[in-house]
Amino acid sequence: MENVTTLGEFIIERQQDFPGSSGEFSRLLSAIRLASKIVSQKVNKAGLLSYIVGSAGSENIQGEAQQKLDVYANIQFIKALRQRKVVCGIASEENDEHITLNESGSYIVAIDPLDGSSNIDVNVSIGTIFSIYKRVSPVGTPVTDADFLQKGTEQVAAGYVIYGSSTMLVYTTGNGVNGFTYDPGIGVFILSHRNMQFPANGKIYSMNEGNFFRSSKGIQEYIKFAQGIEPNENRPYTGRYIGSLVADFHRNLIKGGVYLYPATDQSPNGKLRLLYECNPLAFIAEQAGGKASDGRQRIMEIEPTDLHQRAPYFTGNTAMVDKIESLISEKG
């Protein structure tokens, strides 16, 4: 195999990003790597395993039907993180309360184990989104809610796994964004996208336009702007919406674009969750030269008050997010 860098080698190489860390952080990332491989294998067989697709017959805190595969994914990530004994607690979309793990662990993880899981049965790409913080409560004590209710600016790492035409793990520790493609033949993630950056200009907008008339005037103005015929400004833009945040975000990161999930009259705080969807992808977006906002402020500056709180969400090329913010400021 020509000179390649595996995720394992990369984690060790970058260990110096964590001075004083006794390899705890590397072990944490390795746990995520392991669980991603296990989930990837199941996702790729989902259509063949009747026991793994369809609804689990339960609901998460959002009242959303839990798909069997997202319950499975949740179990795999919790198990892998528990075994490494470096994580004191997990906040998961699939669990109402935080999960207490090892009191000796220095880190906490917020995770959406399988985002977009309603797409499983129609074979559309789905993903895992994770966010990692140092705990604020003393090591050796049980994790507290305060450990999870930290601003996104306090993240030490964040990333996502996209289970698509190939499985990729993309993450940052604050020193750029790197993407690793999984080779199931040899069971390793290979560095395939070094130092990912949004292209200089984006021309893709991703929004569920079924919410157009439920959105604010500023958002309606933005959609009209995106659809306006202005060849010298590369408009009309292209509308692309998969309905799977990780897939829409990943495509926009590579091709240039902006994802919008605004507040609507039915969801005044939007749909996406701050801790394990908005903040981790915001960290990635900013590290890749982009931006993430709730329409009025940097999303990572929001002081969380609840594990599962939502936020209006706009993320992608900086200039595109700036335009959305200016129209919201002007039109509401």
Residues of this chain that bind ligand P6P (CB under 6 A): 115-116, 118, 208, 243-245, 248, 271-272
Q: Which neighbouring-strand residues pair with 127?
A: 115, 162
**Could you tell me the smallest distance in angstroms from the CB atom of residue 127 to ligand P6P?**
8
Q: Which two tokens stand for residue 175?
A: 């020193």
Tell me whether residue 221 or residue 248 sits nearer to ligand P6P (CB atom): 248
**Could you tell me the smallest distance in angstroms from the CB atom of residue 266 to ligand P6P?**
10
Query: If you ran DSSP here, which 8-state letter would residue 310 be given?
Result: B
State how far the Cα of 31 lies from the Cα of 114, in Å rounded to an integer. Answer: 16
**Could you tell me the smallest distance in angstroms from the CB atom of residue 259 to ligand P6P?**
7
How far, CA to CA in Å, does 29 sit from each of 15, 117, 138?
11, 23, 22
**Could you tell me the smallest distance in angstroms from the CB atom of residue 281 to ligand P6P?**
10
% helix / strand / coil in the chain, to the nearest 5? 40, 25, 35
Residue 114, by phi and psi: left (phi above 0), alpha (psi -120 to 50) or beta? beta
Torsion angle of C-alpha atoms 131, 135, 141, 145, degrees rounded to 10: -60
**Could you tell me the smallest distance in angstroms from the CB atom of residue 243 to ligand P6P?**
5
**Could you tell me the smallest distance in angstroms from the CB atom of residue 313 to ligand P6P?**
9
Using CB atoms within 10 Å of the CB of residue 97, give its burial: 0 to 12 exposed, 13 to 18 middle, 19+ buried.
exposed
Tell me whether residue 140 or residue 243 sits nearer to ligand P6P (CB atom): 243
Type of residue numbered 58? S
**Could you tell me the smallest distance in angstroms from the CB atom of residue 35 to ligand P6P?**
19
Tell me whether residue 106 or residue 125 sits nearer to ligand P6P (CB atom): 125
Tell me whether residue 115 or residue 147 sits nearer to ligand P6P (CB atom): 115
Tell me whether residue 93 or residue 147 sits nearer to ligand P6P (CB atom): 93
**Could you tell me the smallest distance in angstroms from the CB atom of residue 206 to ligand P6P?**
8
Tell me whether residue 137 or residue 267 sits nearer to ligand P6P (CB atom): 267
State how far the Cα of 60 lies from the Cα of 79, in Å rounded to an integer. Answer: 19
**Could you tell me the smallest distance in angstroms from the CB atom of residue 265 to ligand P6P?**
14
Tell me whether residue 83 or residue 208 sits nearer to ligand P6P (CB atom): 208
How far, CA to CA in Å, does 15 sit from each of 24, 25, 130, 175, 219?
10, 8, 19, 12, 42
Tell me whether residue 250 or residue 271 sits nearer to ligand P6P (CB atom): 271
Tell me whether residue 208 or residue 309 sits nearer to ligand P6P (CB atom): 208
Residue 270, by phi and psi: left (phi above 0), alpha (psi -120 to 50) or beta? left
Q: How many residues does the chain have?
A: 332
Identify the residue whose tokens are 């991603």: 36
Which residues, 6+ apart, have CB-to-CB distance to 191 below 8 Å? 4, 5, 6, 7, 10, 178, 179, 180
